[in-house]
Structure 1
Amino acid sequence: MSSNEFSLQSLICTEAFADPAFVFDGTPVSRAEFSANIEKTAAWLAAQGVGKGDVVAVWLVNRIEWVALLFAAARLGAIVSAVNTRYRSAEVAHLLRLSGARLMVVEAAFRSIDFAAILADIAKDEVPALRQLAVVGADTIPAHWPCVRFDAFDQPYPPAPPAQDDVDLPVLLYTTSGTTKGPKLVAHSQRTLAAHAAAVARALSLAPQNHSLLAMLPFCGTFGMTSLLGFIAAGATIHVLDAFEAAPALKILGEHEITHAFGSDEMFRRILALTDVAQPFPRAEVFGFAAFQPGWRELAAEAEARGMPLYGLYGSSEVQALFSIGRASDAFADRIEGGGWPMSPEARVRVRDTETGELAAPGVSGEIEISAPSRFLGYFNNPDATRDAITADGFFRTGDIGRLRGDGSFVYETRAGDAMRLGGFLVAPGEIEDELKSCAGVADAQVVAVDLKGNARCVAFVIPAGEPPQQEMLVAHLRERLAGYKVPARIYIVDAFPVTDSANGVKIQRARLRAMAMERIAAE
């Protein structure tokens, strides 16, 4: 294959495609209009002085400008740094500083988000590389930096220089959900993005006239971007929500007989809750979901009964979302598990025993390691972190715990930081949480490991359903059902779990739960 077959531009050169390519808020955008928008945006970026290697931060909700900016940056050899619309000043400043972005394209306003007020909290000397803001939807916003209007589609600019053909340079930076040191920037090239998009289209057997996507995840995260690019590669129509809301999602899924959607368990739960129709999604084929909340197995069973076929999947910013997914031929219980079958036939998954450092046999839990065409280039401007993350033979150390099934598929169990070594065994918290949720009076449960008098023990947090359950009753139930080392040393009743919003969904802050457990035990 020639290198330009791995360009983003190659994704829109497919011979068979549906028109419109996109529908944004009811407005269709044809394949020809999209191509014209890319050329206009490339000309506009070049007129702002953006060229090879320059970083443009994009702080937008899901709109056609976002997609055009990515393809146009690729055309110029420039780099897009994706900014989560949920970020606030400290996070935005960290990303701008780390990326060295010289231009930021920003919303004038969106619903309750005051972009100008967030930027006002950032001092100019915190982000020395930033030169100007380009505002979508207004001429200017109050800011420390000069503003121009993002008018790429409206005004003629001199044509952009000839397209850059190096598909292995960075083109897109995602933020990882960070540690205390702040998020890292995950760099992808046109080759990693385009090859994976084509692999997704092939693995899902997508056909332009038969399939359509509801894009309801933010483009700033790999979950939203990968599904978008996969359906662009397939030439299928993509219906886009600027930001997720259950009511418009339900309306589009039903009215347009959408076949594919991807989201978190919570998004699908909210959509289902809004309709009493027995089978509301007549054309649904694959609704891929990431399980971020407890109770996802029950949700999947209810969804299945109502004709919403949920599929477990796996991905990360480093190997991209939709890295793998369950298959229709899998048993239901296997199909809904995180993990599944890699989309790319060239991908390799192995599991390393975290105790011995040896590769683990099928069925044995350990850290998942991945080699694949979708693997990132490295962490942007962070060679030390990149070196730590990649093995000598080129596998990415995911920091996730899972096991191989022995048939080419694998199971994702938990984050390595969340896996608990109890009684000498590696235990996924979900196993204990599921047992707790089967108890009367328990609406939800989370389990974390703590050091209790030199021994690793687990502590449970329970959200009650109605009258709070008695700790003794819960412990007695668990003792009957689980090995002794899995029975929590303490069970605390709480009103809610601490959560964080990421670009790919709402996630429970397990580190905060561990700190809460230690505080409560210390206070006894």
Structure 2
Amino acid sequence: MPHSIDTVTGLIAARAAEAPGATAVIADEGRLDYGGLDALGRRAAAGLAALGVGAGSRVAFWLPNSLAYLGLYLGCCRLGATAVAVNTRYRSAEVGDIVGRSGASVLVLWPGFRGIDFLGLLEGCDPAALAGIRHVVTVDPFGQGGPARLPGHLDHAARVDWHDLAGAPAMAPADGRDRAAPEAHCNIFTTSGTTRAPKFVAHHQASIAGHAQTAATAFGYPARRGGFMCVLPFCGVFGFNQVMAALAAGRPAVIRSAFDPAEVVALMDEHGVTDINGTDDMLAALMDAAGGPAAMARTPFIGWAAWGTGYETLGRRADAAGIRFCGLFGMSEIQALFSARPADDPVERRLKPGGTLASPVTEIRVRDPDNGAVLGMNAPGELEVRGPSLMAGYADDPAATAAAFTADGWFRTGDLAQLDGPRSLLFLQRMGDVLRLGGFLVSPAEIEAQLQAGPGIAAAQVVGVPGPDGTRPVGFVTLADGAGFDEAALQAHCAARLARFKVPVRIFALDDFPRAMSPNGMKIQRAALRRLAEEALQA
């Protein structure tokens, strides 16, 4: 498919015109071909329009992966409206913040998903945050029921059943309400907020549709005929960009509302899945559930985001089973599947995050954070990006948008990286996690690698704690089964391999690292580790 299709609805309509009977989506609720998916989006557009949704409107999706999610998203795109992603793991305060600040007029949710009372959770929201909601669309694909009445905070809103909304006559191509356009905003993703409220990352249809086609071509998706497993949540760019790339390639997207490793392995066998991407913890669970490489070894490569430590052990375990894990890179502002390691790279290089750029027109450079100089190959600095997958900006925050771009139009990613080949990058760390030790810029990953190489260490994390003599590194480790912990011996191990200023002043053993679910998967909470380190050093 040519990359000239510059709207999301145009992308799906083109696939429907080309192969209307080809399977598009296999979901918990059933399956749709491309003609049916296009028609579902047109019906959802008509139903949303009847609720007053139009160009510039925002619809909050507090919804798991489902046919309803895709249908409503395509409906929003056809009307020129924006889908605001809300993680289903978020609770009252988080949902209220996103819904209220986004100005959404419609909220979509699945009341009984995973047995959770989502309608009840809205009672805990600040009433002011829900004041702008005029309609609540409830998705109940399996007849789980739930209260007919909305919670008190939403007495002013009307409840609409998804099946009734999707039963509207399909919007015709010449309908005057169709506002799909390349420059129309269609997605808002949230950044991972830590010390402040998450920012709203806005993308327009040209960037979403264009990147879906670019990623599909770069990773060879159109050349394969098997299913594409899509289990990461659509509320984050990792999961969302996967399903869009699968659809752009004309592949059957096998989606699931919740992740069950044994079920996913069975589905991979049933539907001949040849492509899957995931996080390190997700892929580890799949390998354990598979009991062998058969279900995963048919894939030419598996893209992975290694957010924990100990990932090289997992990657080498996969390699020994004939499964090629390839490091990926991306973020909400530039989209996921931004780059990937080639499958024919040596394993030592292939497992590292980063890789070759998916887009032939995207540009990257690395800048020294201290003096602003643009750096050459293999020199670590802040990664800057310019290209078609970039966000339109931070919604409703022009100051943050302006601050995120250089004067000559490059996006400051906030990531420490280095150029490691022609049009290739190596991701090292978030800039906020980089340590200034002994007057030098140090990636915690360098120290973590030495800690993890110590006897009995399963995984490691390093954070910096400010002190009167500057920042000091503090290590946290988890232990292999049956291993003991000797802090002094581990410090001596590091001292024999690292400069003195890099050796952790203290090392603590934990049962596990503090973690939290982000829109793109489970991540270690480094801020929580910093607090633990500060408290321990003050004791």
Please state whether the residue corresponding to 1:500 is helix, strand or coil: strand
- 1:58 maps to 61
State the TM-score, normalized to the length of structure 2. 0.93
Once residues 81 and 293 of structure 2 are traced to their aligned partners in structure 1, the CA distance between those partners, rounded to angstroms, is: 49
Tell me, yes or no, if structure 1 residue 104 matches structure 2 residue 146: no
Please state whether the residue corresponding to 1:520 is helix, strand or coil: helix
Matches within 5 A, 1:489-504: 489-504=505-520
Tell me, yes or no, if structure 1 residue 468 matches structure 2 residue 484: yes
Tell me, yes or no, if structure 1 residue 150 matches structure 2 residue 172: no
Aligned length: 523
Once residues 468 and 452 of structure 1 are traced to their aligned partners in structure 2, the CA distance between those partners, rounded to angstroms, is: 30
1:284 deviation in Å? 0.9
Once residues 20 and 279 of structure 2 are traced to their aligned partners in structure 1, the CA distance between those partners, rounded to angstroms, is: 28
Once residues 3 and 287 of structure 2 are traced to their aligned partners in structure 1, the CA distance between those partners, rounded to angstroms, is: 44
Question: After the TM superposition, which segments of 4 or more aligned residues of structure 1 sit over 6 Å from their partners?
Answer: 1-4
Identity of aligned residues (%): 38
Please state whether the residue corresponding to 1:71 is helix, strand or coil: helix
1:447 deviation in Å? 0.6
Tell me, yes or no, if structure 1 residue 84 matches structure 2 residue 91: no
8 Å CA contact 1:499–1:508 kept in 2: the answer is yes
1:6 deviation in Å? 0.1
The amino acid across from 2:281 in the alignment is E
8 Å CA contact 2:44–2:168 kept in 1: the answer is no
Tell me, yes or no, if structure 1 residue 458 matches structure 2 residue 470: no
Once residues 2 and 167 of structure 1 are traced to their aligned partners in structure 2, the CA distance between those partners, rounded to angstroms, is: 16
Matches within 5 A, 1:350-361: 350-361=365-376
Tell me, yes or no, if structure 1 residue 448 matches structure 2 residue 463: yes
The amino acid across from 1:64 in the alignment is L
32, 46, 49: which is aligned to 1:29? 32
Once residues 159 and 200 of structure 1 are traced to their aligned partners in structure 2, the CA distance between those partners, rounded to angstroms, is: 29
1:426 deviation in Å? 2.0
Once residues 202 and 249 of structure 2 are traced to their aligned partners in structure 1, the CA distance between those partners, rounded to angstroms, is: 24
8 Å CA contact 1:366–1:403 kept in 2: the answer is yes
Tell me, yes or no, if structure 1 residue 44 matches structure 2 residue 47: yes
What do the CA deviations read for 1:475-523 (whole angstroms, capped 9, x no partner)?
1111112222221011112222111111101111111111111111111
Tell me, yes or no, if structure 1 residue 414 matches structure 2 residue 429: yes
- 1:250 maps to 265
Once residues 25 and 3 of structure 1 are traced to their aligned partners in structure 2, the CA distance between those partners, rounded to angstroms, is: 31
Tell me, yes or no, if structure 1 residue 116 matches structure 2 residue 119: yes
Once residues 17 and 262 of structure 1 are traced to their aligned partners in structure 2, the CA distance between those partners, rounded to angstroms, is: 26
Once residues 430 and 96 of structure 1 are traced to their aligned partners in structure 2, the CA distance between those partners, rounded to angstroms, is: 36
The amino acid across from 1:416 in the alignment is M
Please state whether the residue corresponding to 1:242 is helix, strand or coil: coil
The amino acid across from 2:191 in the alignment is T
Once residues 154 and 393 of structure 1 are traced to their aligned partners in structure 2, the CA distance between those partners, rounded to angstroms, is: 45
The amino acid across from 2:524 in the alignment is I
1:443 deviation in Å? 2.3
The amino acid across from 2:508 in the alignment is Y
The amino acid across from 1:505 in the alignment is G
The amino acid across from 1:364 in the alignment is A
Question: More displaced, 154-163 or 490-499?
Answer: 154-163
Once residues 18 and 329 of structure 1 are traced to their aligned partners in structure 2, the CA distance between those partners, rounded to angstroms, is: 35
Q: Which sections of structure 2, spanning at least 5 residues, go unmatched?
A: none
8 Å CA contact 1:56–1:78 kept in 2: the answer is yes
Please state whether the residue corresponding to 2:163 is helix, strand or coil: coil
1:278 deviation in Å? 4.8
- 2:350 maps to 335
1:16 deviation in Å? 5.7
8 Å CA contact 1:250–1:271 kept in 2: the answer is yes
Sort the Cα spacing of 1:222 and 1:8 in 2 relative to 1 into closer, same or farther, 3 A: same
8 Å CA contact 2:47–2:166 kept in 1: the answer is no
- 1:19 maps to 22
What do the CA deviations read for 1:152-183 (whole angstroms, capped 9, x no partner)?
56533484743214321211100111132211
Q: RMSD of the TM alignment (CA)?
A: 2.0
Tell me, yes or no, if structure 1 residue 73 matches structure 2 residue 76: yes
What do the CA deviations read for 1:381-435 (whole angstroms, capped 9, x no partner)?
0001101111111111111101001422110001111111222222221222122
The amino acid across from 2:77 in the alignment is A
498, 504, 513: which is aligned to 1:482? 498
Sort the Cα spacing of 1:396 and 1:154 in 2 relative to 1 into closer, same or farther, 3 A: closer
Please state whether the residue corresponding to 1:334 is helix, strand or coil: helix
The amino acid across from 1:55 in the alignment is R
- 1:507 maps to 523
Once residues 57 and 26 of structure 2 are traced to their aligned partners in structure 1, the CA distance between those partners, rounded to angstroms, is: 30
8 Å CA contact 2:28–2:66 kept in 1: the answer is no
8 Å CA contact 1:257–1:281 kept in 2: the answer is no
1:439 deviation in Å? 1.8
What do the CA deviations read for 1:270-296 (whole angstroms, capped 9, x no partner)?
111123325443421121111111110
8 Å CA contact 1:208–1:237 kept in 2: the answer is no
1:309 deviation in Å? 1.4
Once residues 354 and 9 of structure 1 are traced to their aligned partners in structure 2, the CA distance between those partners, rounded to angstroms, is: 41
The amino acid across from 1:515 in the alignment is R
What do the CA deviations read for 1:230-283 (whole angstroms, capped 9, x no partner)?
111110111111122211111122332311111100000011112332544342
Once residues 205 and 26 of structure 2 are traced to their aligned partners in structure 1, the CA distance between those partners, rounded to angstroms, is: 24
Matches within 5 A, 1:162-173: 162=176, 163-173=178-188
- 1:386 maps to 401
Question: More displaced, 29-38 or 448-457?
Answer: 448-457
Please state whether the residue corresponding to 2:277 is helix, strand or coil: strand
8 Å CA contact 1:17–1:235 kept in 2: the answer is no
Once residues 391 and 132 of structure 1 are traced to their aligned partners in structure 2, the CA distance between those partners, rounded to angstroms, is: 40
The amino acid across from 2:74 in the alignment is F
Question: More displaced, 462-471 or 338-347?
Answer: 462-471
The amino acid across from 2:307 in the alignment is F
Once residues 464 and 2 of structure 1 are traced to their aligned partners in structure 2, the CA distance between those partners, rounded to angstroms, is: 51
Once residues 20 and 318 of structure 2 are traced to their aligned partners in structure 1, the CA distance between those partners, rounded to angstroms, is: 31
Matches within 5 A, 1:293-308: 293-308=308-323
Once residues 125 and 11 of structure 2 are traced to their aligned partners in structure 1, the CA distance between those partners, rounded to angstroms, is: 37
Sort the Cα spacing of 1:109 and 1:332 in 2 relative to 1 into closer, same or farther, 3 A: same
8 Å CA contact 1:280–1:306 kept in 2: the answer is no
